[in-house]
Amino acid sequence: MQEFVLRQKVQICVKSSVRGPVVSDKSKPSSETPKFDPAKFDPVESWIDLTRQFGRAQAAFADFMERKKTGDTFQIPDPEVVKDSFSSAWSSLLGNPERLAKAQSDFFACQTQLWQMAVKRLAGEQVAPVAEPVKGDKRFQDQDWTDQAVFDVIKQAYLVNASWLQRTLSGAEGLSIEDKHKVDFYTRVMVDALAPTNFLMTNPKALKASLETGGRSLLDGLKNFVTDMERGQGQLSISMTDYDAFELGRNVATTPGKVIYQNEMMQLIQFAPSTPTVQSVPLLIVPPWINKFYILDLRASNSYVKWCVDQGLTVFVISWVNPGPELAHKRFDDYMLQGPLAALDAIEKATGMNKIGIVGYCIGGTLTACTLSYLTSKRDKRIVAATYLVTLTDFRKAGDIRVFIDERQLDLLDQHMEERGYLEGRHMANVFNLMRDNDLIWSFVVNNYLMGKEPMPFDLLYWSTDSTRMPAMMHGFYLRQMYLENKLIEKGGITLDGVKIDLRKIKIPTYMLSTREDHIAPWDATYAGTQLYGGPVKFVLAGSGHIAGVVNPPSANKYQYWLNPDLPPTPEQWLEGAVSHPGSWWTDWREWLRPHLGDEVPARQPGEGELAAIEDAPGSYVKVR
């Protein structure tokens, strides 16, 4: 009834104020100047829709405020830590008058150049740009950023001032290495947030869309914004893909198999063979528990798991539980004992083999290294070969993630996790998104809210937003003992289940893969592992980043990888002598692995051994949100 009354009032207002279409229906909008087509615009429906969205937004905000009453103010990054880092930088600059004067002089010089360029450019002259986007910057790809004088000036002004601010704050003296890293990181985040592409009135593409649709794109953008607020229960949770387009077991995580073992920490999946014979030694994959295993089994065309199966391997993968408060007490030790160690026992029962190859990915690789040291101390020789994918063991150069890890922030994190028993997945997702904010935050702000478009279906982004929780005790141990104190590289620096861990005791053949553009496990940090392990090591560097560089099937014919049989002390020396090879590292790894996995035997079907099948892959644990 209220909507009917509102509709009548809007119709009266529209009839009394609108005197006809702005442009004839027969007119064609030019490519240079977008024209408004009134046939696409219903002012009554638009006004009704607008009031609906404000009502939804008000409800989402009320939900957020209600949750705030519970005292849940924890967030990463902590605003006080960010503020204090910038305060230190400004204090350093103010305490050095000579450097401050130089910064001011540089600023005025930059503004003079900008002014001279702007006057000429706006007058119609073609002048050399004062600043240009770096190669690969996708924000300014629209041709209007170059062709339209106003937008060209806005673009260059942003680039010049952003560069000056980053240069000035980076030059602050007297800061600790940690504070300098924080200042550089958060300055870059702030500069990215202030880009003109992120605002309607300074984004030519968004302005054109709003004119062409009669404002419909903005209304659709508001709808998308409110929907994301509702999904985040009052906090903005930016949609990165069409979540309804994917279903586990239907179009992602589709490789056939069975769950043949489970405990409170994980399910063990054995995948069905696709070849009549397989190599006798099975392969266990230990994925990270910060995300779910199916990054290695997205679609048939890019599934590492399926490719391994098609290569004649008996493949097992651990599917970690998504823990709740009932598992808050679980330690790093428990992930080892109830993860790979339990999996080894289960695989031996399922196949009758006491020789197994192992692959560890990211933190799963870190756990694998700890497990191998543990097994060595126990004189357990079941693992015959180990593969580490983008795995950190020496955390000294762990990259931008160290910005979030210091005593003060870990204390806040411990307090938060003590109250809940775990760290919510959204906090880890926020950290990773900030590390690549233009790609993982602002591009979606522009697409979803300014352009009013729905995000495209993308399996990788569906997986990346399917985040998991971290048990309090395990996560606190991992961040302090490894990231903060770097104890894993020490002999006996950490103890798991009563055993002092020493990676130098690992003597089995090792294949180490890193990726050149990795922002989570930087390759010059992962390379340090080559100097730790006691056995033969092959180090391979692949193109691209932490995910795309790993999930790179040979059929895609993308990127490249570098090989160097020598392992000099530094990554720079290794790269100097490395030779580039086109395509995927998968084929190189397969040839390295082949002699370690034994002779061919008849293919094994899941559930035919001592362990009966529990349910179909991908199992139930992976579906828990």
Tokens found for residue 365? 């690789």
Does the structure show a pLDDT above 80 at 42?
no
What are the tens digits of pLDDT across the range 85-107? 899 888 888 888 888 899 899 99
pLDDT of res. 23: 33
C-alpha 300/C-alpha 298 separation (Å) is 7
**Is 489 in the same domain as 382?**
yes
Quote the Cα angle for 223-225-226, to 5°: 65
Phi-psi region of 406 (alpha: psi -120 to 50; beta: other; left: phi over 0): beta
Tokens found for residue 342? 């339990």
What letters, b where the CB count within 10 A reaches 16 and e where it falls short, cover 337-371?
A: bbbbbbbbebbbebbebebbbbbbbbbbbbbbbbb
Residue at 226 is within a domain = no
Choose the final residue of a domain: 198, 213, 241.
198
C-alpha 594/C-alpha 93 separation (Å) is 59
With cut-offs at 50, 70 and 90, classify the pLDDT of residue 22.
Answer: very low
Residue at 142 is within a domain = yes
| Mean pLDDT over each residue of the chain, to the nearest integer | 89
Does the structure show a pLDDT above 80 at 52?
no
Q: Which residue has the higher pLDDT, 549 or 65?
A: 549
Tokens found for residue 487? 């104890």
Does the structure show a pLDDT above 70 at 2?
no
Quote the Cα angle for 500-505-508, to 5°: 135
| C-alpha pair distances (Å), 111 with each of 74, 202, 502 | 40, 19, 57
Cross-strand bridge partners of residue 446: none
Question: If we measure between CA atoms, which residue out of 63, 444, 438 comes closest to residue 224?
Answer: 444
C-alpha 202/C-alpha 198 separation (Å) is 8
What are the tens digits of pLDDT across the range 390-442? 999 999 999 899 999 999 999 999 999 998 999 999 899 999 999 999 999 99
Q: CB burial class (10 A; 0-12, 13-18, 19+) of residue 481? A: middle
What are the tens digits of pLDDT across the range 572-588? 999 999 999 999 999 99
Mean of pLDDT values over 474-500? 96
pLDDT of res. 64: 66
pLDDT of res. 33: 56
Does the structure show a pLDDT above 60 at 5?
no
Total domain count for the chain? 2
Q: Which residue has the higher pLDDT, 43 or 580?
A: 580
Tokens found for residue 531? 């100097």
C-alpha 547/C-alpha 361 separation (Å) is 10
**Is 333 in the same domain as 193?**
no
3-state DSSP assignment of residue 234: coil
**Is 149 in the same domain as 289?**
no
Q: What domain range is 92 assigned to?
A: 79-198
Residue at 45 is within a domain = no
Other Cβ atoms less than 10 A from the Cβ of 373: the count is 23
Residue at 368 is within a domain = yes
Does the structure show a pLDDT above 50 at 299?
yes
Query: Are 258 and 617 within 8 A, CB to CB?
Result: yes
What are the tens digits of pLDDT across the range 370-390? 999 999 999 999 999 999 999
Other Cβ atoms less than 10 A from the Cβ of 465: the count is 19
**Is 280 in the same domain as 385?**
yes
Q: Distance from CA of residue 523 to its chain's centroid?
A: 16
Q: Report DSSP letters for 495-512, one per residue.
A: EETTEE--GGG--S-EEE
pLDDT of res. 48: 66
Residue at 323 is within a domain = yes
Query: Are 616 and 622 within 8 A, CB to CB?
Result: no
**Is 191 in the same domain as 289?**
no
Query: Are 549 and 270 within 8 A, CB to CB?
Result: no
C-alpha 358/C-alpha 375 separation (Å) is 13
What are the tens digits of pLDDT across the range 318-347? 999 999 999 999 999 999 999 999 999 999
**Is 293 in the same domain as 159?**
no
Does the structure show a pLDDT above 50 at 25?
no
Question: If we measure between CA atoms, which residue out of 359, 335, 319 comes closest to residue 617?
Answer: 319
C-alpha 399/C-alpha 422 separation (Å) is 24
Residue at 33 is within a domain = no
Residue at 14 is within a domain = no
C-alpha 145/C-alpha 32 separation (Å) is 13
Other Cβ atoms less than 10 A from the Cβ of 100: the count is 15
Radius of gyration of the chain (CA): 28
Does the structure show a pLDDT above 50 at 311?
yes
**Is 171 in the same domain as 261?**
no
Q: CB burial class (10 A; 0-12, 13-18, 19+) of residue 386? A: buried
What are the tens digits of pLDDT across the range 145-202? 999 999 999 999 999 999 999 999 988 888 888 999 999 999 999 999 999 999 999 9
Choose the final residue of a domain: 161, 178, 198.
198
**Is 376 in the same domain as 524?**
yes
With cut-offs at 50, 70 and 90, classify the pLDDT of residue 3.
Answer: very low
C-alpha 344/C-alpha 374 separation (Å) is 13
pLDDT of res. 434: 93
Amino acid type, 366: T
Does the structure show a pLDDT above 50 at 30?
no
Query: Are 562 and 541 within 8 A, CB to CB?
Result: yes
Strand positions, DSSP E, 137-219: none
Q: SS3 string of 546-560? A: CCCCCCCCHHHCCCE
pLDDT of res. 32: 54
**Is 274 in the same domain as 177?**
no
**Is 342 in the same domain as 465?**
yes
Other Cβ atoms less than 10 A from the Cβ of 48: the count is 15
**Is 388 in the same domain as 271?**
yes
* Run of H or E including 56: helix 43-68
Other Cβ atoms less than 10 A from the Cβ of 423: the count is 23
Amino acid type, 479: L
pLDDT of res. 221: 93
C-alpha 82/C-alpha 80 separation (Å) is 5
pLDDT of res. 1: 42
Q: How many residues in total does the chain contain? A: 625
Choose the final residue of a domain: 177, 198, 219.
198
**Is 486 in the same domain as 408?**
yes
DSSP, res 157? H
Residue at 67 is within a domain = no
Does the structure show a pLDDT above 90 at 479?
yes
The catalytic site residues sit at: 362
Furthest-apart CA atoms within the chain: distance in Å? 89
Does the structure show a pLDDT above 90 at 241?
yes
Share of the chain above pLDDT 70, in %: 89
Query: Are 121 and 145 within 8 A, CB to CB?
Result: no
Other Cβ atoms less than 10 A from the Cβ of 421: the count is 18
